[in-house]
Amino acid sequence: MSGIIDNQGLMMYWAFDEGTGASTLESVSGTLNDIQYVFNQAEFTESCTPPWRQGVSGNGLLFDGYSSYIAHTAHGEEQYRAPKYLPALSIGVWVAPRTYEWGYESKLAAIVNQHNMDKKQGFLLGMFRHGSWSFQIGLEGEDWKEIWSPDGYELPKNEWSYLNAVFNGDEGEIKLFLNGSELVSGTVARGSRIAAAVDSDLLIGRNNHSSKLEEVFSLHMFGGIMDELKIYNRALSNEEIAASYQEVLDSTLGDTVPQVKFGDIKLDRTPLLMDRHRPQYHVSPPAHWMNEPHAPIYFDGYYHLFYQHNPQGPFFHHIHWGHWVSKDMVHWRDLPIALAPEKDQLAPDGIWSGSATYDADGLPVLFFTAGNDSASPNQSVALARSTYSEDGDPDLVNWIKHPEPLIVQQKGMGAFGDFRDPFVWKEEDVWYALVGSGNDGGGGAALAFVSEDMFNWTYKGPFYQADIQNYPYLGPIWELPVFLPLGTDKQGENKHLLLVSPVGAGADVEVFYWIGQFDKHDVSFIPDQKEPQLIDVGDFHFTGPSGMVDPKTGRNIVFTIAQGDRTSELEYRSGWAHNGGLPLSVYLREDGRLGIEPIQELQSLRGEKRLSLRDKSLAEANELLKDVLGDMLEIQLELEPSTAKQIGIKVRRSPDGEEETLLYYDLNKATLSVDRSKTTQHPGEKCSGVQGGKLELLGENLKLHIYLDRSMVEAYANGLKSLTTRVYPSRKDALGLEIWGDGELLVKSMEIWDMQSIW
C-alpha cells in the first residue's frame, strides 16, 4: 500500500479544531459531542467553557485531568452502529500529557476507550504509571489481549507524541507505533475478532470503568492536550502511519514535532480568580490539590517555597512537589513542578514533605520523603540537587535526585514504618536532620541524625518525644518537625523553638510547640516546660508547619497550610483544595513567651484605606462601619472593655445578620474564639460551631490584627496567638463588619484597608 493515508474505513474523527465552546464535532457521523467540564456550569466562580490550546494541526483540547471528558454514545445512531465483531481496528491520536496517574487498581488513564474488561469486550488505549502506555482489546471467545510500550518509550510530559494502535485480526497482529515508527508488536490467533462493547459508550479522556475516590472523584482520567483523534475499522499500514506523522512534521515547515508552550499546558488559575471563596492574596497552586507548603529557602535574591501537590485534580493522591518563587514572600510566581514520582527505585510512588538547606558550596538542596511501596518501610529520606551551578537556572526549576536514599529506617529507629518529613539545617560544618516518627512508648517523636558531608548520616536517637501519658493528644506519630533558633533570653540562655504536628489515633492535629535548649552534645532538645503550646487556636485550620531562618533579615519565618475544611463534593465543584497561611515571623518576647506576627511585607498589599477611627463607643463605631464592605480586607483593632466580658467583631456579615462570623475574646475564661454557628446557610459546607483556646492577656486591651481573604479569616491577637478559620457564606452580600460586646466597650482604635490580589 502506498504511504499516502486515505479515509477508507474511517469510523470516527475528532479534529478538535473548534477552539472555543463546550462541544466538539465527530465529523464522520456529524455528531456534535458535549465536552464535560466542571466549570461549564460553575457554582462559585464564573462559568466558562473547556480550555482550548494550540494543537499539532489547528487547535487541540486541554483535559484538566479530573473532570473533562467526551462521551460519544453507543446507541441510536445508524452510522455509528459498529458490527458486533471487528476484524480490524486502528487508532491514531496526538497527545501531550501534563501528568501521569498513579495507576490505582492497575487501570489505565484512558485516552480513548469503549471497553468492558470483565466481559472481555471492546478496546482501550491509555496511559499508566510514569508515562508507560498500552493498547488493550477484548477478543471473541472471551480473551483479553494487552500490548505495552517497552521500557524507555514512555510518553514525555509537556511534549507532543503521536500514538497509533493497530489490530489486524486476519493477520493475527497487534502493534503500537510511536511518532510514526513501529514500536512493538504482538500476536493473536489468525482470524481473531474484537468483541465490540456494545453496551458501553465510547469515552475520550475517561476510563469506562474508573475507580472512585471518596465516592466523588473518577480516577484514570487523561490530563493534557489531545488532537487529531482518528479511529478506523481497518488495519493501517506502517507506511500510512509514517506518512500521517510526516504530514504533521511537514506542516511545521521545519520537519520537527510542534512544540508545546508551557504556558498552554500548565494549570491555569484564571478560572479561579473569580471564585468567591478562593483566597486571592494567600499563596495557592494554580488549581487542584495542595497540602502543606514546605522547604522554604532564600537564594540569589529570591525566596523559594514548595508544596505537596496533586496536579491531576483537587484530591489527595499522587503527590508531587509544586514550586513558587518570590522576591518578598508575598507576591508569588508559579513555577513548573520541581519533583515528581519517576520510574526508579527511589520514589516511584510519591514525593512527600521535606525541607531545604545549603550544601558545602552554599547551593540549595532539597531533602524529601521518598515514597516507594515496594520497599519496607515505604518511606526514606532522599535528596535532590539544583542544576544552578551547571546551567545557571535562576528560578531553580531543574532538580536532579540523588539515585539512592540517604537515610533508611532500621528496626529500633523510632516507630518502624513511620519515618518522614526531614527537617535539615547546617551549623558550622555539620548538617543536622530531624525526622518525624514515634517511640517505643507509643508516642510521637522527632528522631535526630547528623552528617559531616550531607550524604552519610549517623542516628543519634530521639531528639524529643511525646509524654503520651500526660499529654495523650500528642499522638502516636509526629510529622513535620521544625527547629528554629530564637536567640538568647534575659538570663542569657540560648533558646530554640521546636514545632511538631501530631497524627494518628487520639492525636489533636494542630501545630504544637515548645521553647527550650538545644543540647548539641547529645543532639537532643530540653524544653523549658513539658506542656506543649499552640500557636493557633482555630482548630485544624493552621497545620503542616515548615520554617526557615531568613538570611536576608535574620527573622524566623513559619509557613503553614490553611485547611479548606470542605467536602470532597465541594472541592470537586470548586476545582481547588487548600492554600497556604500567611507567612509568620516568630520570635522570643521579653516576657519569655513566643511572639507571632504576620510579616511586615504584607503591607505592600494594602489598597484604599477604608476607615480610621479612635476612641469611639460601640454604637459610634458601628455607625461608621456601615459602609465598609469587603471580603479582602486588613483590619487592625483595639478594644477596651468596660462592662463587657465578651468583646469582638463580626465579619462576613449579611445586612440582616442572617449570616455572620464572630471573633471574640472572653475575659472571664481568657479564651480567644470564633463562633461559626451562623457563618453559612449552604447545605454542603461544613463550617459551624465554636472553636477557640487559651489566651492570657494579663490585663492588656484586646488587640486584633485580622486578615479577610474570601474564605480565609486569620486573627492575630496581641502578638501572642492566632486564630485561623474558614468561612463559606452562601449569601453574596455577607460582606459587612460589626463590633460586638455583651456590654459596654470602647473602640480605642480601628484601621481598615482593602487588600489586593497577588496574582
pLDDT at 378 over 80: yes
Q: What is the pLDDT of residue 78?
A: 47
* Calpha distance 565→412 (Å, rounded): 37
Q: Give the pLDDT band (50/70/90) at residue 82.
A: low
In terms of DSSP bridges, do strands 576-577 and 288-299 run parallel, antiparallel, or are they unpaired?
A: parallel
The answer to whether 366 and 352 are in contact (CB under 8 A) is: no
Under a CB-based contact definition with an 8 Å cutoff, are residues 436 and 466 in contact?
A: no
Q: What is the pLDDT of residues 630-657, one digit of tens each?
A: 999 999 999 999 999 999 999 999 999 9
CA separation, residue 174 to residues 88, 121, 152 (Å)? 10, 16, 20
Task: List helix spans (H) across 208-352.
Answer: 238-251, 262-265
**Residue 75 confidence class, pLDDT cut points 50, 70, 90:** very low
Specify the CATH number for the domain of residue 247: 2.60.120.200
- Residue 595 counted as domain residue: no
At residue 304, what is the residue type? H
Alpha carbons 447 and 525: distance in angstroms, whole number? 11
Name the burial class of residue 651, with classes exposed (0-12), middle (13-18) and buried (19+) by CB atoms within 10 angstroms of its CB: buried
| CA 383 – CA 370 distance, rounded (Å) | 9
Name the residue with cell 499500514: 237
Question: Cα angle at 641 between 635 and 646, to 5 degrees?
Answer: 80
Residue 565 resides in a domain: no
Give a yes or no: residue 679 inside a domain. yes
Secondary structure of 603-649 as H, E, C letters? HHHEEEEEEEEEEEEHHHHHHHHCCCCCCEEEEEEEEEECCCCEEEE
**pTM for the full model?**
0.97
Whether 583 is in a domain gets the answer no
| For the chain, percent of residues with pLDDT exceeding 70 | 98
Q: Stretch 195-210: mean pLDDT, rounded?
A: 96
Q: How many CB atoms lie within 10 A of CB 471?
A: 16
For residue 6, pLDDT over 80 is answered with no
Please give the radius of gyration of the chain, using alpha carbons only, rounded to the nearest integer: 29
30: left (phi over 0), alpha (psi -120 to 50) or beta: left
Q: What is the pLDDT of residues 654-681, one digit of tens each?
A: 999 999 999 999 999 999 999 999 999 9
Contact 283, 294 (CB under 8 A): no
Residue ending a domain, among 218, 247, 265, is 265
Q: What is the pLDDT of residue 5?
A: 61
184-198 mean pLDDT: 96
Residue written as grid cell 522576591: 327
Give the residue-averaged pLDDT of 269-284.
Answer: 97
Count how many Cα atoms sit within 13 Å of the Cα of residue 698 in the half-sphere of its side chain.
4
Task: Give yes or no for residue 683 having a pLDDT over 70.
Answer: yes
Q: Quick check: 3 pLDDT over 80?
A: no
Quote the number of domains for the chain: 2
For residue 717, what are the β-bridge partners?
704, 721
- Give per-residue burial for 633-649: e unless 16+ CB within 10 Å, then b: bbbebbbbbeebebbbb
According to the model, what pLDDT value does residue 4 have?
Answer: 53
The CATH number that applies at residue 695 is 2.60.120.560
pLDDT band at 743 (very low <50, low <70, confident <90, very high): very high
Q: 3-class SS at 447?
A: strand
Query: Is residue 739 situated within a structural domain?
Result: yes
Mean pLDDT of 465-484: 97
Instruction: Give the pLDDT confidence score for residue 382 in this predicted structure.
Output: 98
Segment 279-284 mean pLDDT:
98
pLDDT of residue 692: 98
Domain boundary among 217, 245, 265: 265
**For residue 1, pLDDT beyond 80:** no
Least confident of 74-83, 174-183, 311-320, 557-566: 74-83
Tell me the percentage of the chain whose pLDDT exceeds 90: 95
Q: Has residue 378 been placed in a domain? A: no
Mean pLDDT computed over 285-302 = 97
pLDDT at 2: 39
Which of these three, 265, 286, 305, is where a domain ends?
A: 265
User: With 90 as the cut, is the pLDDT of residue 279 above it?
Assistant: yes
Q: Is residue 731 part of a domain?
A: yes
Confidence check: pLDDT of 74 > 70 = no
Average pLDDT estimate for 599-621: 98
3-state SS class at 570: helix
Half-sphere exposure of 220 (CA within 13 A, CB side): 23
> Considering the domain boundaries, does residue 580 fall inside one?
no
- Tell me the C-alpha distance between 80 and 122, whole Å: 15
Beta bridge partners of 753: 609, 634
Rounded Cα distance between 691 and 563, Å, is 15
**pLDDT reported for residue 83:** 74
Residue span of the structural domain in which 109 resides:
10-32+52-265
Task: Reply yes or no on whether the pLDDT at 117 is more than 90.
Answer: yes
Task: Give the confidence band of 756 by pLDDT, cuts at 50, 70, 90.
Answer: very high
User: pLDDT-derived band of residue 76, with 50, 70 and 90 as boundaries?
Assistant: very low
Q: What b/e sequence results for 22-52 when a residue is b if at least 16 CB atoms lie within 10 Å of its CB, and e otherwise? A: bebbbebbebebebbbbbeebebbeeeebbb
Distance CA(426)–CA(451), nearest Å, equals 9
Give the pLDDT confidence score for residue 79 in this predicted structure: 44
Average pLDDT, the chain: 96
DSSP class of residue 150? P
Cα–Cα distance, 606 to 598 (Å, whole number): 14
Q: Cβ atoms within 10 A of the Cβ of 413, count?
A: 18
Is the pLDDT at 441 greater than 90, yes or no? Answer: no
Average pLDDT over every residue of 202-231:
98
Q: Closest Cα partner for 23 from 59, 57, 49, 56?
A: 49
Give the mean pLDDT of 618-638.
Answer: 98
Average pLDDT of the residues in 258-271: 94
The stretch 36-64 carries a mean pLDDT of: 97
